[in-house]
Amino acid sequence: MKVRVNPSLCEGFGKCAKAAPEIFTLDADGYASTDENAEVPAALIAKVREAEGACPTGAVLIEE
Question: Are the beta carbons of 34 and 23 closer than 8 angstroms?
Answer: yes
Exposure class string for 12-22: b at 16+ Cβ within 10 A, else e: ebbbbbebbee
Q: Which domains does the chain have, with CATH numbers?
A: 2-63 (3.30.70.20)
Q: What are phi and psi for residue 2, nearest 5 degrees?
A: -125, 160
pTM: 0.92
pLDDT value at position 48? 98
pLDDT tens digits along 7-20: 999 999 999 999 99
**Using one digit for the tens of pLDDT, what is the confidence trace for 32-52?**
999 989 999 999 999 999 999
